[in-house]
């Protein structure tokens, strides 16, 4: 986002905004935070109900040095998680994964696990809307990639190729502009594609 004087906003770890002509140095590390703030805006404005899914964890051992200071010392994931976010918008189930990469030319498929891919196919097969939000941190670009496009790209890749080229995402995905309140306004793209 740019100020009226043309300078870009530089995000800091304390989520304060300062102007800079160099861009946002830490923006690549805040995709989840940006989506959470966007989802809060959607919820507060009664636009949609979309939340980050908690990862189910089985706590095995807890150290109680003081009653008020319990420390979990051993825990395990109960099951593999599916996607990061889900909810409902205009009567449709919304389900998506958010990923970021520092790579400028490719999106590594190692970022999407087979069980997540299978889950996204199942959502689409049952009439839901599933997609990826991919941020190329070094390029300061965030894309909406419909699951159907991901499936096509995934299926076309040979076993040697372990990533999707940036150009394929740029040509088949949708650039999401950065906004102040709706930082990652992915519902605007859903409106265009599905409603």
- Give the pLDDT confidence of 97-123 residue by residue, as tens digits: 999 999 999 999 888 888 898 999 999
Which conformational region is residue 85 in: left (phi greater than 0), alpha (psi within -120 to 50 degrees), or beta? beta
Answer whether residue 68 is part of any domain.
no
- pLDDT grade for 1, boundaries at 50, 70 and 90: very low
Give the CATH number, domain containing residue 32: 3.40.1350.10
Mean pLDDT of the chain: 82
β-strand partners of 72: 62
68 — pLDDT class (breaks 50, 70, 90): confident
- In this model, does residue 85 exceed pLDDT 60? yes
The answer to whether position 65 is within a domain reads: no
pTM to 2 decimal places: 0.76
Whether 49 is in a domain gets the answer: yes
Domain assignment of residue 47, yes or no: yes
Q: Is residue 84 part of a domain?
A: yes
Let me know if residue 1 belongs to a domain.
Answer: no
Per-residue confidence (pLDDT) for residue 190, from 0 to 100: 97
Asked if residue 84 has pLDDT above 80, the reply is yes
Q: How confident is the model over 67-83, as a mean pLDDT?
A: 74
141 within a domain of the structure (yes/no): yes
CA 58 from centre of chain: 25
What is the β-pairing status of strands 129-136 and 85-89?
unpaired
Instruction: Note the pLDDT of residue 54.
Output: 74
Total domains in the fold of the chain = 1
Q: Percent of the chain, pLDDT > 90?
A: 55
Q: Determine contact, residues 124/148, Cβ cutoff 8 Å.
A: yes
Q: Is residue 129 part of a domain?
A: yes
Q: Which domain holds residue 188?
A: 12-54+80-194
């Amino acid at each position: 986002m740019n100020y009226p004087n043309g300078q870009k906003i530089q995000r800091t770890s304390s989520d304060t905004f300062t102007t800079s002509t160099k861009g946002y140095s830490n923006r690549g590390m805040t995709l989840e935070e940006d989506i959470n703030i966007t989802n809060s805006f959607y919820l507060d404005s009664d636009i949609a109900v979309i939340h980050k899914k908690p990862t189910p964890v089985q706590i095995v051992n807890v150290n109680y040095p003081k009653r008020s200071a319990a420390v979990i010392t051993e825990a395990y994931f109960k099951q593999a998680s599916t996607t990061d976010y889900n909810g409902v918008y205009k009567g449709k189930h919304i389900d998506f994964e958010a990923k970021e990469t520092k790579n400028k030319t490719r999106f590594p498929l190692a970022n999407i696990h087979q069980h997540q891919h299978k889950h996204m196919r199942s959502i689409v097969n049952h009439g839901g809307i599933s997609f990826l939000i991919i941020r190329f941190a070094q390029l300061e670009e965030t894309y909406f990639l419909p699951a159907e496009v991901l499936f096509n790209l995934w299926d076309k890749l040979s076993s040697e190729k372990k990533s999707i080229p940036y150009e394929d995402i740029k040509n088949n995905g949708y650039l999401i502009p950065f906004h102040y309140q709706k930082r990652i306004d992915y519902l605007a793209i859903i409106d265009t594609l599905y409603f």
